[in-house]
Structure 1
Amino acid sequence: MSGATLDEALAAADRAMAAESEAIAMTRLVVRPALADALRLLSQTRGRVVVSGLGKSGHIGSKMAATLASTGTPAFFVHSTEALHGDSGMVTRDDVAILISYSGETAEVCQFARMVLARGAAVVAMTGRPSSSLAALARVHLSIHVEREADPLGLAPTASTASTLALGDALAAGLMTLNGFTAEEFAVFHPGGSLGRQLLGDRSIA
């Protein structure tokens, strides 16, 4: 391995942040037409939002579910592989599944999508390929396509995961607004730690 100077490393770090910022800005424009459909579907569900993915998409999906749950939208994360070994039993016909796969061809995610549909639930797909198998199974498709990943090799999920994370936060913000989620409700969901103390004014809740 050949070493690089600190200046070169800093330049690579700066390019990575710039690439991720550009990817999020592009995603914002591309998903806008479908975002209303996704928000309408998610806000009208009588059940919960089930988020699933594998690898880096799974890590992002786990955070997405946590953010939704903490901001008034009942949600949980299911690992796609575990879903094929019994955990799909968590899904009911009243739920909506957000399934994440950049290629849109991840076998476990696509199989889980078919199981969700057979259960009578709807699918929102996040992929980088609108013509993919997963996108075709979805009622709503949200594109997370990026021109290039942000790492020096252009291979590691970086810009694409940044865009996916931002899109999850956008859904949470939209649903908070649609549901009229208040600061008081947020405080009830966050009684612990410094955030809880700040929101509750150091008052404990029963």
Structure 2
Amino acid sequence: MTPIIAKAREVIQQEAGCIQEMAGFLSDSFEKAVKTVSTCKGRLVISGIGKSALVAQKIVATLNSTGTPALFMHAGDAIHGDLGMIQRDDVVMIISKSGESPEIKVLVPLIKHFGNVLIGMVGNTQSFLAANCDMVLNTTVKQEACINNLAPTTSTTAQMVMGDALAICLMELSGFTGQDFAKYHPGGNLGKRLYLRVADIYRNNAKPAVVTGASLKEVIVTISKSRLGAAVVVSDEGQVLGIITDGDVRRMLEHVDNLTGIKAGDMQHNKPVTIAPDMLAVEALDVLRRHDISQLVVTDDNNGYLGILHLHDLVREGII
């Protein structure tokens, strides 16, 4: 093991150990803070200075994306005009390792004067902030990962984790669902996994279909033209009777010498795996994986043939 790898492991293990210890710091104060924010009629305004301010911005982003309205207010700017962000029904949370920063000591009395509930996320439970807030979220760490025990490293990790714990508990209380999450994340591959449905994809594909009595040549031509690796066998009324994949054709050719009179009905799988058009694309991926196949037949409520969804469609859409 090289010295660099050894040091990196030491840092990770040291921070992980501190986070494990932090689980023991959770108390009635944490539960009260969660319930207070949950029932708040306004927003959670989060403030901090230095690296704690950066952590505050991340926690605000997490809260907003998980259903808890939140707002970031820089502690330095707050005492120079930004206090106007705070409304009567808002809850305020200040994040600080020491709880003794000059800006914090100026800001805390002002918030208390406004009458807002104040939560302190602090790494020093004997500090000014801890003594003057309504609830304390304890993020004490024994030591920073920094070799000089100076640069905020373990302490900011602890703050991030406590923020995540707060956000997830608030999600639980509000009954925040995957559908709710999708509303706030419509963009990118994450959004697609949450809202893209089978109906949004399969309509762009060909709709290869043959009848039971179709010849082998018709089947091969239909499969080739669609470029989906399969053709669906349908009744005269358009009901799904089976499916023939290019693999089925190859396997049949390996075992049959006389191809005269071979019909679609001789090759078809009678129980193809089907899916409804309103299913999520990510759910379709689970079905494909579970059955170890590449195509799904899309059907309506009456087993009517609508189209084919191919594994490549999900790759193209970034679902995989």
Partners of 1:113 and 1:46 lie apart in 2 by 21
User: What are the residue-to-residue correspondences of 1:42-191 with 2, within 5 Å?
Assistant: 42-191=37-186
How many pairs are equivalent?
A: 198
Match of 1:7 in 2: 2
Partners of 2:158 and 2:64 lie apart in 1 by 20
Greater helix fraction, Structure 1 or Structure 2? 1
Partners of 1:103 and 1:19 lie apart in 2 by 20
Shift of 1:113: 2.0
Shift of 1:31: 2.1
Shift of 1:34: 2.3
CA RMSD of aligned residues (A): 1.3
Equivalent AA in structure 1 for residue 67 of structure 2: G
Partners of 1:167 and 1:55 lie apart in 2 by 18
User: Between the two proteins, what is the percent identity of the paired residues?
Assistant: 40
Equivalent AA in structure 2 for residue 46 of structure 1: K
Match of 2:255 in 1: none
Structure 1 unpaired stretches of 5+: 1-5
Shift of 1:60: 0.6
TM-score (norm 2): 0.60
Equivalent AA in structure 2 for residue 58 of structure 1: A
Q: Relative to structure 2, which stretch is displaced further, 27-36 or 78-87?
A: 27-36
Partners of 2:169 and 2:179 lie apart in 1 by 18
Q: Secondary structure at the match of 2:2?
A: helix
Conservation of the 8 A alpha-carbon contact between 1:12 and 1:152: no
Partners of 2:147 and 2:87 lie apart in 1 by 43
Larger radius of gyration: 2
The yes-or-no answer on 1:28 pairing with 2:23 is yes
Partners of 2:193 and 2:146 lie apart in 1 by 37
Structure 2 unpaired stretches of 5+: 201-320
Greater strand fraction, Structure 1 or Structure 2? 2
Equivalent AA in structure 2 for residue 125 of structure 1: G
Partners of 1:16 and 1:33 lie apart in 2 by 31
Superposed CA offset, 1:158-204 (max 9, x none): 1111111000000000000001111111100111111111111166x
Q: Secondary structure at the match of 1:197?
A: helix
Q: Secondary structure at the match of 1:188?
A: helix
Equivalent AA in structure 2 for residue 27 of structure 1: M
Shift of 1:35: 1.6
Q: Secondary structure at the match of 1:51?
A: strand
Conservation of the 8 A alpha-carbon contact between 1:54 and 1:79: yes
Equivalent AA in structure 2 for residue 41 of structure 1: T
